[in-house]
Amino acid sequence: MFSKLMVSASLALVAQAALPAINTTGNAFWNTETGERFYIRGVDYQPGGSSNLTDPLADETICMRDIPYFEQLGINTIRVYSIDNSMDHTACMKALDAAGIYLILDVNTPKASISRVSPSCSYNSDYLQNVFATIDEFSSYDNVLGFFAGNEVIDSVNNTDTATYVKATVRDMKKYLKARNYRQIPVGYSAADVTSNRYLAAEYFNCGDDEDARIDMFGVNDYSWCGASSYTVSGYSQKVALYSGYSIPIFLSEYGCNTVKTDGARLFTEVEAIYSSQMAAVFSGGLAYEYSQEANDYGLVQISDDGLNVTTLTDFDNLKNELNKTSNPSGNGGAVSTYSISSCPTYEAGIWEANNTLPDMPEAASVYFTSGAGTPQGTGFATQWSCYDDDSDADSEDSSSSFSTTTTAAAVSSTLSSSIVSSATASGKAATSSSKAAGSIVDVPVIFNLMIGGVDGSLAVAASVAALAFGTALTI
């Protein structure tokens, strides 16, 4: 159980020395002080999940409650999917640092992210202001391991065009870090494990002559190891072969299949494989999904309704035991620094529709490079339709940006109904092993696993169309 004693112990840790920054060289992460290879051993962390979105790094009572459990697990990294950039995060970031824990942070919010429906419009100066303000808030902490510019934005075979605008965001983030003289924190993308385009996405985000437009790290949300599987049966061996020769660090940004359990719990036997010499030459660890028990039944701990008490579940004990008995590979683990960048995938209608020519950054956003992002707007700032307010739309020649918001919303409303119904009849696992919608009414990767249908059983398009259409970078 969570206790005041644990809080006091965590507070005492805050006075300890800061962690060294982690950087990337070749296809691995490295400790900038010791020169040792760094493996991500972590969990995905967003207590409250979809039903009660809360910034866990802005509330000391939350992070201080949970840090002792991170320490029990023996992890060194957490991933947080959404924060409020208008809040102060000093206390929690220092406490994490003192506990030896790094942060991978997604820079998007439910209302400010790249849209699957109209990616060109959602990429605008207001959106970038929100992203840059998040960078401003976290850039000073050495225990920020990296930023994710998007999470599962490409989640099917028919929305690969969104990659163009995610890659433009990567470019703008990296240029902003340089312009503001911040530490060059790695910027990456977290991909759904969609069989038809997962490697195309890896290639696309790591190709091209513009170094700023190439990601520094690539995360894969992978749920292919279920139960007492094996390196071969799970498909891990195939993925090692698939990504062999990839020139930047790659890791499992989510893992932990829950469709096969033993005595009601996940075994997490994949941990031994993840940190084996077989995988270390390609992969740099992973993040187990997820810390808190939510409606989708992936939790390691149960948090009481009042938020005061934490009870560890069998999943927690199993993951802890697997992590504690599994060491990192010795030496550099087979890391390579001489691989070449990827070749850009060729445009092919219906297969890969991202453009290798990126849109220019919206002109109105250029002022942030010299003056900073300004006042952070927090999680309530909706930016998806702000292209209509831009003096210079990044994709003004695109006809999708020329019609009215009202017309677009109506089109989205009509298409959502048919797409949701069709999704309900198909298994999300058929296209991707990273589906986490167990327990949802519809197995469709919509932000925060939104439930389809209201109190009266009808499709609540009018009330939730914006969230359904645009909350694409935060499927948690």
End-to-end alpha carbon distance in the chain: 26
Site of tokens 């303000």: 133
**Is 270 noted as a catalytic residue in this protein?**
no
Amino acid present at 31: N
| From 137, 254, 270, 294, active-site residue | 254
342 and 247 Cβ atoms separated by less than 8 Å: yes
Alpha helix (H) residue ranges in 225-281 = 236-243, 270-274, 277-280
Query: 């695109």: which residue's tokens?
Result: 398
Question: Residue 10 corresponds to which tokens in the numbers above?
Answer: 């965590």
H-helix or E-strand spanning residue 150: strand 144-151
Beta carbons of 475 and 127 less than 8 angstroms apart: no
- In whole angstroms, what is the distance from residue 159 CA to residue 408 CA? 17
Q: Which of 36, 137, 152, 294 is catalytic?
A: 152
DSSP notation for 24-84? EETTEEEETTT--EE-EEEEE--TTTTTS---TTS-HHHHHHHHHHHHHHT-SEEEES---
Residue with tokens 């225990």: 143
Angle, CA of 212, 215 and 216, to the nearest 5° = 100
Burial (0-12, 13-18, 19+ Cβ within 10 Å), 14: middle
Strands 250-255 and 283-288: parallel
Tell me the sheet residues that pair with 244.
Answer: none
| Token representation of residue 317 | 């004990």
Burial class (CB in 10 A: 0-12, 13-18, 19+), 86: middle
288 closest CA partner among 62, 68, 44 = 44
Q: Residue ranges of the alpha helices (H) in 228-357?
A: 236-243, 270-274, 277-280, 314-325
Structure tokens at 319: 């993951």
How crowded is residue 347: how many other Cβ atoms within 10 Å of its Cβ?
13
Contact call for residues 301 and 291 (beta carbons, < 8 A): yes
DSSP bridge pairs for 348: 352
| Residue 348 among the catalytic residues | no
SS3 429: helix
Q: Determine how β-strand 102-106 pairs with β-strand 144-151.
A: parallel
> Residues with catalytic annotation?
152, 254
